[in-house]
Amino acid sequence: MLVVAYDNRSDIEIEESILEEIEDAMKRTLLHREIGVECEISYSFVNADEIKELNATYRGKDAATDVLSFPMHEDFLYDRVAILKENSHLPLLLGDIVICVQQAVAQAKEYGNSLTRELCYLSVHSVLHLLGYDHMEDDDKSVMRRIEKEIMGDQ
Whether residue 129 is annotated as binding a ligand: the answer is yes
Tell me: is residue 125 an annotated ligand-binding position. yes
> How do 92-100 and 67-71 pair as beta strands?
antiparallel
d(CA 104, CA 26): 17
Q: What is the DSSP letter of 44?
A: E
Instruction: Please tell me the distance from the alpha carbon of residue 67 to that of residue 86, in angstroms, as a whole number.
Output: 29
Strand partners, 43: 6, 97
Contact 92, 84 (CB under 8 A): yes
Q: DSSP 3-state assignment of 99?
A: strand
Residue numbers belonging to the annotated binding site for Zn(2+): 125, 129, 135
Residue numbers belonging to the annotated binding site: 125, 129, 135
